[in-house]
Structure 1
Amino acid sequence: MPLKFTALLSILLVSYIAFSQVEEVAPPDYIKTINFKGNTPETQLPILRLGEYVILEFDVLNGEEDDYYYKVEHFNFDWTPSVLVKSEYMDGFDNQRIRNYENSFNSYQIYSHYTLTIPNAQTRGLRVSGNYMLSVFNNDDELVFSRKFMIYENTATVGVNVKRSRDVQFIEEKQRIEIIIDSNTMQFNNPTQNVKAVIVQNNNLNTAISNIKPQYTVGNQLIYKYDTETSFWGGNEYLFFENKDVRAANTGIQSIDLKDLYHNYLFTNFERATRPYTYNPDINGNYVILNIDAENPSIEADYVWIHFSLLPIESLKNKDIHVYGNFNNYVIDESTKMIFDESHNVYTNAILLKQGFYNYKYIVANSDNSIDEGAISGNFYQTENNYKVIVYYRDLGGRYDKIIGLGEGSSVNISN
């Protein structure tokens, strides 16, 4: 192969890698309960206003009290690396050790609870809005896990309305999002190219609809009233359980057992896709760490083996069925896969989770890596879902994508 061609190929390959979309890295088995603390008790997608504190927490279950380090990187709206250097988006330094950690207290499962707060003495703050990735490394500079978060400026108002689908074929199953973006402090230049909206259902970036452009403008207002481009499957309300007291059967828990750790056995669930919709309030896939008679659940809540069970479904006999929720950032892997127990004629799985209140549902993972949330739970337009709209803007001559506004809506008052 000619030397010039080899060099050109190398440059193109490096360019592709450098400008490809970044993905979150899931943690190893011994790291659990990764969450960003915000203004709500439950763990949600971290979208913070510029100047607010970023607080990341996680537990390490190996009992070794290892040192961990963090790095913060800035990205464009499509999660490709931005051209900004660190000094442009960060005041201070990253690649610092996470200094704040405590060991668990009065728990069967030994763990260390780590807390990272930004700003801190070394990383004094983040200067600009946009997409960020927070990566955690071990002593050997090996990436352990990474999580996305966003910082926004409140320079635009974002109105969000949830409507029923206009497509008669899906009118009973889908929800459609209408958006109006306006600003009294800025003028949108060439909005069809420079303004991009992302719609997130129930804090799940995996199913987000991105790069939505304005349909038309009225003065300085940007209007989005698409029929299909902004439509989501309605899904169904999440199932839930609570085990803040591991010594007693709480909501959703049928029985308990104590072996090396506590084991909680949930009531066996059934498919809901062919049954009528039933309203059952949930927290849209999220979770809250709780335990009874404790001052600090972060270090006093114990880890419990949660045993899930699902009655078999003939139509999904050869499909991969998984437990799904924000308890592991909506990751699908071997730890979430349901296994068919022929002796009891039921699908089962056990997942180690920290005490609290959890939402979950069962989904089908397809061979093309897509998921079908409605195959077991069903899709209903009446389902109460939360929608967040993140608005990105790059002005003429701008070097990065700002997040200029955040809108939020619920389908609880869905209309035609």
Structure 2
Amino acid sequence: MPLLKYKYFLLYFIVPLMTFSQVKEVNPPSYIKTINFKSNTPETQLPILKLGSYLVLEFDALNGNEADYYYKIEHYNYDWTPSVLMKSEFMDGFDNQRIRNYENSFNTYQIYSHYQLTIPNEQTKRLKVSGNYLLSVFDSNDTVVFSRKFMIYEDQVAVGVSIKRARDIQFIEEKQRVEIIVTSNSMQLNNPAQTIKTVIIQNNNLNTAISNLKPQYTLGNQLMYKYDSETSFWGGNEYLFFENKDVRAANTGIRAIDLQELYHNYLFTNEERSSKPYTYNPDINGNYVITVLDGENPNIEADYVWIHFSLVPTEAFKNKNIHVFGNFNNYVIDESTRLIYDEDYDILRNSLLLKQGFYNYKYVIANNNGSLDEGAISGNFYQTENNYKVIVYYRDLGTRYDKIIGIGEGSSINISN
């Protein structure tokens, strides 16, 4: 084969693979903290918005530079590969605009700038279609600082969600199973085995989502999903939590306070819970809420505090990579979340810089193959209260993108056999 033709041959086959790979969120640098979404939902992460709703993205920059940041928005298919839609097809207006709304912190030890982006705005007037979206924030050098996923849905079908115990006797005490009924009253779902895709998300964590589920059978205008292992999740355990809205006084979960260059909060030392019976302890399923006692605007008046985590080691944890885990950093596992063994005190420790508020967290083991064992330290119990969201995607024959036609939500607090 001539060299020139060989090059075109490679481009023909390799470029599509590079272009249509599944997109991943870009994690922020250490000076970007507390990335929140706000809308007409109470969630601060993974917002799933109704078409026509507003969206607010907030974050803090701790470097004190009052730097300029810009945003871009892209549309994606159900499997997070790029859709073929042009920007004019999913957006009214323009992106790649500067985030103009920001305020500097007030009366805090840690200086920071709080940025806020609202959509729609004067430049980005509206997002016109439903589906998966990625919002990326860039600096003035056009370098991606971080990116976050969100979804927009149309309310065209009803999605019923019920949580059951596992049918497999081996996991009946540890797993939870999701059953789904999609009811279509106003639209005709053509060839649902091919055109419908369903995704289940536990506790807003996209990393553990079960995707590409197809209906088992059709009953009238209803699509039924009554799988066993295909829709089963580990039950986990209730999250641990602490609150430090008053940084100078004793708070829930905090045993000691110290003021150095910043405030330091030392949490009570935790123990493994996998060998202990399940105990109900209300949580917010890994989420967090920014709040401050002696201020009116937590966005700029809440301070940043060094939070010191500690865990009692056991022989089973020896030579394991143990991390602090929660929605406070979008469930990211990296070197900053890893616990280090302290020989002097025979304890595992980690310190994270977090904004004042109420936080859920737990400890997980990161395996060498990249997977996480969330139950090794906390345990897995079918009684655990977890939140489940079900997203239904539909691409009719001849259409060019996957739209979200309905969402459902359920809690395992009412789990049944």
TM-score interval w.r.t. the shorter chain? over 0.9
2:208 maps to which residue? 207
1:279 aligns with 2:280: yes
Please state how far the C-alpha of 1:5 moved relative to its aligned partner.
1.7
Amino-acid identity (%)? 75
2:232 maps to which residue? 231
1:170 maps to which residue? 171
Structure 2: how far apart are the matches of 1:292 and 1:198?
Answer: 39
Contact kept, 8 Å, 1:42 with 1:287, in 2: the verdict is no
Report matched runs for 1:48-63 at 5 Å: 48-63=49-64
1:270 maps to which residue? 271
Please state how far the C-alpha of 1:6 moved relative to its aligned partner.
2.2
Please state how far the C-alpha of 1:45 moved relative to its aligned partner.
1.8
Output the amino acid matched with 2:25: E
Q: Over residues 33-53 of structure 1, what are the superposed CA-to-partner deviations in whole Å (9 max), with x where a residue is unaligned?
A: 001013355523210000000
Please state how far the C-alpha of 1:11 moved relative to its aligned partner.
2.8
Output the amino acid matched with 1:341: D
Q: TM-score, normalising length from structure 1?
A: 0.99
1:74 maps to which residue? 75
2:381 maps to which residue? 380
Structure 2: how far apart are the matches of 1:279 and 1:296?
Answer: 33
1:320 maps to which residue? 321
1:114 aligns with 2:111: no
1:140 maps to which residue? 141
1:288 maps to which residue? 289
Please state how far the C-alpha of 1:9 moved relative to its aligned partner.
1.1
Please state how far the C-alpha of 1:347 moved relative to its aligned partner.
0.3
Contact kept, 8 Å, 2:394 with 2:403, in 1: the verdict is yes
Q: TM-score, normalising length from structure 2?
A: 0.99
Alignment root-mean-square deviation, CA? 0.8
2:157 maps to which residue? 156
1:341 aligns with 2:358: no
Please state how far the C-alpha of 1:7 moved relative to its aligned partner.
2.0
Structure 2: how far apart are the matches of 1:82 and 1:290?
Answer: 38
Structure 1: how far apart are the matches of 2:89 and 2:40?
Answer: 27
Structure 2: how far apart are the matches of 1:350 and 1:43?
Answer: 23
2:46 maps to which residue? 45
2:407 maps to which residue? 406
Structure 2: how far apart are the matches of 1:401 and 1:42?
Answer: 24
Please state how far the C-alpha of 1:2 moved relative to its aligned partner.
2.7
Output the amino acid matched with 1:334: E
Structure 1: how far apart are the matches of 2:108 and 2:215?
Answer: 53
Structure 2: how far apart are the matches of 1:122 and 1:226?
Answer: 45
Contact kept, 8 Å, 1:42 with 1:288, in 2: the verdict is no
Cα distance change, pair 223–42 in 1 and its aligned pair in 2 (3 A): closer
Structure 1: how far apart are the matches of 2:284 and 2:307?
Answer: 19
Report matched runs for 1:93-108 at 5 Å: 93-108=94-109
1:229 alignment partner, SS class: helix
Output the amino acid matched with 1:305: W
2:36 maps to which residue? 35
Contact kept, 8 Å, 1:238 with 1:282, in 2: the verdict is yes
Contact kept, 8 Å, 2:31 with 2:62, in 1: the verdict is yes
Contact kept, 8 Å, 2:196 with 2:392, in 1: the verdict is yes
Question: Structure 2: which 5+ residue stretches go unaligned?
Answer: none
1:299 alignment partner, SS class: helix
Please state how far the C-alpha of 1:337 moved relative to its aligned partner.
0.3
1:243 maps to which residue? 244
Question: Structure 1: which 5+ residue stretches go unaligned?
Answer: none
2:359 maps to which residue? 358
Structure 2: how far apart are the matches of 1:24 and 1:127?
Answer: 23
Please state how far the C-alpha of 1:396 moved relative to its aligned partner.
1.2
Q: Over residues 356-413 of structure 1, what are the superposed CA-to-partner deviations in whole Å (9 max), with x where a residue is unaligned?
A: 0000000000111110000100000000000000000001111100000010000001
1:252 maps to which residue? 253
Q: Over residues 114-152 of structure 1, what are the superposed CA-to-partner deviations in whole Å (9 max), with x where a residue is unaligned?
A: 000000000000000000000000000011100000000
1:184 maps to which residue? 185
2:220 maps to which residue? 219
Output the amino acid matched with 1:273: S
Please state how far the C-alpha of 1:204 moved relative to its aligned partner.
0.3
Output the amino acid matched with 2:203: N
Query: When the two structures are aligned, how many residues end up with a matched partner?
Result: 416
